[in-house]
C-alpha cells in the first residue's frame, strides 16, 4: 500500500504495467465505477484512498488510468459522509438534497459495487495537455492523496474546518475558497451527480424504488404483480405503470387512452384521457382534446379542462405551473390562482428545506419578480437576485439584490436581509451582505466600509473598517488604516483584538475550551496573540513549531513564512532552509547557499543534497570533486532524481570517481525513469554525439522529445537545429512544429541558425 502522504513517481507505478497488464480489460473484477466528467470533486477522493496505482485505462488509450481497492474506498467514503452528516448544520445548505444524495450513494455502494477496484479515467482532461497521461495521472493521484490525508485528519479531529486546508481552495481552478460552497455546488448534487457508471442507470433506479412490484406479460398484454406473485393489475393493457408511493391508483394505457386502476385491478378511472401522469398526493395531470386539467379521483372524477399546459412546480406545498394562451400562472389542484396569468414562461421554484422561493418573468415588461413562499412579492425596486443566507430558529433568511434609483439618471445596487415570513432584518442600505455559514455572522459593507452583524446579537462591529475577512473557527480578520486585527464571534464571546499588526495569518488554532492563538506580524517580528488578549513575542522555538506540518504552514503568506524562517534560524524546517539556500545561490551568495543547504541536507532534504553536489562540481573557488560526488551520492539515496542525474555526470566526467560510462548511463536512465527532463537530455546528447556510446539517432530523438515533454524546454532549440540541419534528420515541417512549441513555452528561437556539425 502507498501511504497517503507519499509522493508517487513514474518508477513507483511502473511495476504495475507488468503485474497488472490485464487491468484495462472490462472484466468482473474491474469496471469503470467512478467517471471523470472533467472534474472529480475532492469530497469523493476517499473512494481512491487505498492501494492506488496507475495503469491502462479500461476504455481509452494505454496509460493514465487510476485504480484503487474498492472495499477500503467504500469504508472511507461512508465514514466521510457520516462525518459531513454529523456536521450538517455547519456544512449543508440543502439538507433534504444531501440526505437523498447520501442515501443514493450508500445504496449504490452496497448493492452495485461488486468489483474489486474503483477506476478513474481522465482521458478527455489529460488530452488537454501535451504532458503524457502517465505524468498527469501521477500529479492527479498525488493531489488525491493530499486531500485524503486532510480529510482523514478532519475526521480524526472531528473538525470540519480542517477541510478548508485542501489544496483545491488555495490553487484550484474553480475559485472556491472553502469546503462548504464547494460541497454545496448544485452541479455535484452532493456527489451523486458525479458517481455515475455503466452499471447504474435511471431505469434500474426506478425498479429499485418499487421492489414490491413486478411487471409481467401475458398474451402480448402487460400487467403488474406484487413481489409474492399476486396479480395487482391483470395483463390486458398496452402499458402499465408502477403504483406511486402512498398512492392507491396506478396509470394504465390501452389503444392510446389512459385511465387508472386500483390494487384490486379495478378500473376506477375509465380509459378516456389522451394523456395522463402518475398520481402524486392524490392529484394527477390529465389531458383531453388538447386541454389539461387536474384529476383528484378520491374526491371526484370530474375534471375541469382549463389549461393549455400544466407542469409541476413544487410538491410541498403542491403547486403547479398552468398556461393559457402562452401566459403562465401558479395554481393549486383546486384551480385556485396563486399567481395570476401574467408570466412569460413557467415560474421557477427554489426549495430550502421547508421553505420555497419563487421567481417569474412578467410578460408585460419582461422583468423578473421574486416571491416568498406565500407569494408575497420581494423588494420595492428592481430585484436582480435573491440569495439564501442562513437558517436560525426555524426561519430561513435571504439577501435581496435591488437596483435603487439615486437620481434622474443614476442608480446603485443595494442589498437587504429578509426573513422567510417577509420581515426585514437589515434594511436596503448595504452594498454587500455576505453570510458566513461557519459562524452565522454576516459581513456588511456600507458606504465602502465593513462591519459584522449576527441575528441574535445585532451589530457586532460597526461599518468602520476597510476590510473584513472570514477565517476559520468563527473568527474574522479586521483591517483598518493598513493594520490588521481580529474579532472572535464564537459562541457569543465577541473578543476584539484591535488592528495593530501589518498582517495576521489565515488560520487560527482553537482549543477544546474555546481559547485560541493566532500569529500577528509587525515589521520583521512575529507575535502570538491569545484569546485572553495577551501578546507574546515569537522566539526561534515557537517559530519552528509554527512552521511544522501540525500547524498548517501552507496557510502562511510567503512574507509571513519568510519572517518565521528568519526567526527560527537553524531550527527552521528543511524545506525552508532549502529555499533560503536557493535564494542565496540565485543572488550569488554561495557562502550562505552552502550554509543553508548543509543545514537542510542534515535534516534530510534531498534537493539541498543535489544543490550542494552542483555547487561543488562547478569550476571555481568552490570546486571540490570529492564533496560533489559525496552530496550527489547522498542525494540519490534520498530519492532526488536531480541528484541521480548529477551522479551520472560525476561518472561521465570522473568527478570524485573514476570515469565509468556504463555507470553514467545507468544513473541517467534511473533519473529519467523518475521523470527527470535533464537526464533525458543528457542521454539524448550521448546517443547523438556517439562518442561514449554507439550513435543512435532514434534513441537521441526519443529522449530529446521526452525531455521537452517533462519541461526541459531549452531542448526545443536542439530539436530545431537537428530537424533543420542534420543530414539524416532534416525535416522542415517538424522544425517549424518545434519552433511553434518553443514559442508557446516562452522561448523565442531565431528563424535561422548557423548549421551545427552533424553528430
pLDDT digits (tens, 9 = 90+) for 486-530: 999 998 889 999 999 999 998 888 888 889 999 999 999 999 999
User: Residue 378 has what DSSP assignment?
Assistant: P
pLDDT confidence of 311, banded at 50, 70, 90?
very high
Mean pLDDT over the full length of the chain: 86
Residue 750 pLDDT exceeds 90 = no
pLDDT at 417: 97
pTM of the model: 0.61
Report helix, strand or coil for 213: strand
Which element (helix H / strand E) includes 314? strand 309-314
Three-state DSSP class for residue 46:
helix
Omega into 317 within 30° of 0, i.e. cis? yes
Placement of cell 408511493 in the chain? 245
Alpha-carbon distances, residue 214 vs 206, 232, 233, 547 (angstroms): 12, 10, 10, 63
Min mean pLDDT across 133-137, 401-405, 419-423, 729-733 is at 133-137
Mean pLDDT of 628-644: 94
CB 264: neighbour CB atoms within 10 A? 10
How many beta carbons lie within 10 A of that of residue 740, not counting itself? Answer: 11
Given a cut of 90, whether residue 381 has pLDDT beyond it is: yes
Q: Where are the strands (E) in 631-694, listed by range?
A: none
Q: How confident is the model at residue 11 (pLDDT cuts 50, 70, 90)?
A: very low
Q: At what angle do helices 70-86 and 95-111 cross, to 10 degrees?
A: 160
**Residue 80 burial class via C-beta count within 10 angstroms: exposed 0-12, middle 13-18, buried 19 and up:** buried
- How far is the C-alpha of 261 from the C-alpha of 268, rounded, in Å? 5
pLDDT band at 177 (very low <50, low <70, confident <90, very high): confident
Band (257; pLDDT cuts 50, 70, 90): very high
What pLDDT digit, counting tens, does each position of 689-739 carry? 999 999 999 999 999 999 998 888 889 999 999 999 898 999 999 988 888
Domain boundaries defined on the chain: 31-191, 678-758
* Per-residue confidence (pLDDT) for residue 536, from 0 to 100: 96
The three three-digit cell numbers of residue 413, written as one number:
445596487
511 burial type by CB count under 10 A (0-12 exposed, 13-18 middle, 19+ buried): exposed
Residue 127 is predicted with a pLDDT of: 77
pLDDT at 67: 83
Question: Which pLDDT score is estimated for 183?
Answer: 86
Cβ atoms of residues 41 and 191 within 8 Å: yes
More confident residue, 680 or 61: 680
| Mean pLDDT of the region 287-315 | 96
Q: How confident is the model at residue 114 (pLDDT cuts 50, 70, 90)?
A: low
- pLDDT score at 195: 64
Mean pLDDT of 455-472: 94
Number of H helices, E strands in the chain: 22, 38
Sheet hosting strand 291-295, strand order edge to edge = 275-276, 284-288, 291-295
Q: Is the pLDDT of residue 8 over 70?
A: no
Per-residue pLDDT of 415-452, as tens digits, reads: 999 999 999 999 999 999 999 987 889 999 999 999 99
> According to the model, what pLDDT value does residue 648 have?
95
pLDDT in tens, 332-351: 999 999 999 999 999 999 99
pLDDT in tens, 552-594: 888 899 999 999 999 998 888 888 899 999 999 999 999 999 9
Kindly report, residue by residue over 72-113, the tens digit of the pLDDT: 888 898 999 999 999 988 999 888 888 888 888 887 787 777
Q: Rounded CA gap, 326 and 363, in Å? A: 10
Q: What is the rounded distance in angstroms from the CA atom of residue 79 to the CA atom of residue 44?
A: 12
Mean pLDDT over 385-406 rounds to: 92
- Flag whether pLDDT at 753 surpasses 80: no
Write down the pLDDT at residue 507. Answer: 84
* Rounded-to-integer distance, Cα 249 and Cα 263, Å: 7
Question: For 529-539, how does the pLDDT look when each residue is reduced to its tens digit (9 = 90+)?
Answer: 999 999 999 99
316 close to 332: Cβ distance less than 8 angstroms:
no
Parallel, antiparallel, or unpaired: how do β-strands 509-510 and 525-530 relate? Answer: unpaired
Grid cell of 63 as nine digits = 496509460
- For residue 239, count other CB atoms closer than 10 A to its CB: 12
pLDDT-derived band at 216, boundaries 50, 70, 90: very high
Amino acid at each position: 500500500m502507498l501511504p497517503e502522504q507519499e509522493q508517487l513517481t513514474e518508477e513507483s507505478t511502473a511495476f504495475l504495467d507488468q503485474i497488472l497488464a490485464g487491468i484495462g480489460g472490462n472484466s468482473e473484477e474491474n469496471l469503470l465505477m467512478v467517471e471523470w466528467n472533467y472534474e472529480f470533486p475532492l469530497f469523493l477522493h476517499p473512494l481512491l484512498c487505498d492501494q492506488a496505482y496507475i495503469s491502462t485505462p479500461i476504455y481509452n488509450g494505454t496509460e493514465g488510468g487510476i485504480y484503487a481497492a474498492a472495499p477500503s474506498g467504500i469504508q472511507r467514503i461512508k465514514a466521510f459522509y457520516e462525518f459531513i452528516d454529523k456536521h450538517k448544520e455547519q456544512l449543508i445548505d440543502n439538507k433534504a438534497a444531501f440526505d437523498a444524495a447520501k442515501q443514493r450513494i450508500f445504496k449504490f455502494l452496497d448493492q452495485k459495487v461488486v468489483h474489486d477496484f474503483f477506476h478513474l479515467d481522465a482521458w478527455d482532461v489529460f488530452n488537454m495537455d501535451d504532458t503524457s497521461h502517465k505524468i498527469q495521472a501521477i500529479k492527479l493521484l498525488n493531489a488525491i492523496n493530499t486531500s485524503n490525508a486532510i480529510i482523514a485528519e478532519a475526521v480524526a479531529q472531528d473538525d470540519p474546518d480542517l477541510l478548508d486546508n485542501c489544496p483545491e481552495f488555495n490553487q484550484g481552478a474553480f475559485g472556491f475558497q472553502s469546503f462548504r460552497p464547494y460541497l454545496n455546488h448544485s452541479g455535484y448534487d452532493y456527489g451523486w451527480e458525479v458517481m455515475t457508471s455503466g452499471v447504474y442507470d435511471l431505469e434500474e433506479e426506478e425498479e429499485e424504488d418499487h421492489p414490491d412490484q413486478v411487471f409481467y406479460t401475458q398474451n402480448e398484454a402487460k400487467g403488474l404483480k406484487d413481489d409474492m406473485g399476486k396479480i395487482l393489475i391483470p395483463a390486458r393493457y398496452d402499458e402499465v405503470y408502477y403504483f406511486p408511493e402512498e398512492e392507491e391508483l396506478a396509470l394504465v394505457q390501452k389503444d392510446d387512452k389512459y385511465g387508472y386502476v386500483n390494487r384490486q385491478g379495478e378500473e376506477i378511472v375509465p380509459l378516456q384521457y389522451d394523456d395522463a401522469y402518475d398520481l402524486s398526493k392524490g392529484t394527477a395531470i390529465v389531458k383531453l382534446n388538447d386541454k389539461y386539467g387536474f384529476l383528484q379521483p378520491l374526491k371526484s372524477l370530474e375534471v375541469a379542462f382549463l389549461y393549455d399546459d400544466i407542469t409541476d412546480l413544487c410538491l410541498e406545498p403542491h403547486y403547479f405551473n398552468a398556461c393559457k394562451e402562452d401566459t403562465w400562472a401558479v395554481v393549486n389542484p383546486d384551480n385556485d390562482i396563486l399567481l395570476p396569468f401574467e408570466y412569460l414562461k413557467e415560474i421557477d421554484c427554489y426549495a430550502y428545506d421547508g421553505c420555497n422561493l419563487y421567481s417569474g418573468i412578467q410578460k408585460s415588461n419582461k422583468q423578473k419578480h421574486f416571491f416568498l413562499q406565500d407569494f408575497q412579492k420581494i423588494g420595492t425596486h428592481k430585484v436582480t437576485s435573491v440569495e439564501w443566507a442562513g437558517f436560525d430558529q426555524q426561519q430561513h433568511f435571504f439577501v435581496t439584490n435591488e437596483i435603487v434609483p439615486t437620481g434622474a439618471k443614476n442608480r446603485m445596487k443595494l442589498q437587504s436581509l429578509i426573513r422567510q415570513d417577509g420581515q426585514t432584518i437589515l434594511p436596503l442600505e448595504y452594498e454587500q451582505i455576505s453570510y458566513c455559514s461557519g459562524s452565522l455572522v454576516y459581513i456588511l459593507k456600507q458606504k465602502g466600509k465593513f462591519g459584522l452583524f449576527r441575528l441574535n446579537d445585532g451589530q457586532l462591529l460597526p461599518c468602520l473598517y476597510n476590510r473584513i475577512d472570514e477565517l476559520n473557527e468563527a473568527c474574522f480578520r479586521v483591517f483598518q488604516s493598513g493594520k490588521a486585527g481580529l474579532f472572535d464571534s464564537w459562541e457569543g464571546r465577541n473578543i476584539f483584538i484591535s488592528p495593530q499588526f501589518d498582517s495576521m495569518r489565515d488560520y487560527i488554532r482553537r482549543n477544546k475550551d474555546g481559547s485560541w492563538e493566532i500569529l500577528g506580524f509587525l515589521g520583521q517580528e512575529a507575535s502570538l496573540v491569545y484569546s485572553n488578549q495577551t501578546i507574546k513575542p515569537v522566539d526561534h522555538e515557537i517559530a519552528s513549531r509554527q512552521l511544522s506540518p501540525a500547524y498548517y504552514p501552507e496557510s502562511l503568506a510567503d512574507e509571513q513564512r519568510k519572517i518565521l524562517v528568519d526567526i527560527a534560524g537553524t531550527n527552521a524546517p528543511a524545506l525552508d532552509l532549502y529555499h533560503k539556500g536557493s535564494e542565496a545561490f540565485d543572488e550569488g551568495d554561495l557562502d550562505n547557499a552552502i550554509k543553508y543547504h548543509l543545514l537542510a541536507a542534515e535534516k534530510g532534504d534531498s534537493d539541498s543534497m543535489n544543490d550542494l553536489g552542483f555547487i561543488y562540481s562547478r569550476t571555481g573557488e568552490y570546486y571540490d570533486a570529492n564533496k560533489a560526488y559525496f552530496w550527489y551520492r547522498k542525494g540519490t539515496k534520498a530519492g532526488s532524481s536531480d541528484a541521480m542525474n548529477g551522479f551520472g555526470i560525476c561518472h561521465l566526467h570522473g568527478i570524485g570517481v573514476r570515469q565509468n560510462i556504463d555507470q553514467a548511463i545507468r544513473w541517467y536512465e534511473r533519473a529519467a525513469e523518475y521523470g527527470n527532463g535533464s537526464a533525458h537530455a543528457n542521454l539524448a546528447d550521448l546517443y547523438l554525439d556517439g562518442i561514449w556510446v554507439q550513435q543512435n539517432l532514434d534513441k537521441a530523438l526519443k529522449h530529446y522529445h521526452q525531455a521537452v515533454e517533462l519541461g526541459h524546454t531549452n531542448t526545443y532549440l536542439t530539436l530545431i537545429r537537428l530537424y533543420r540541419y542534420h543530414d539524416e534528420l532534416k525535416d522542415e515541417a517538424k522544425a517549424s512544429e518545434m519552433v511553434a512549441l518553443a514559442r508557446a513555452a516562452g522561448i523565442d528561437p531565431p528563424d535561422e541558425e548557423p548549421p551545427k556539425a552533424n553528430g
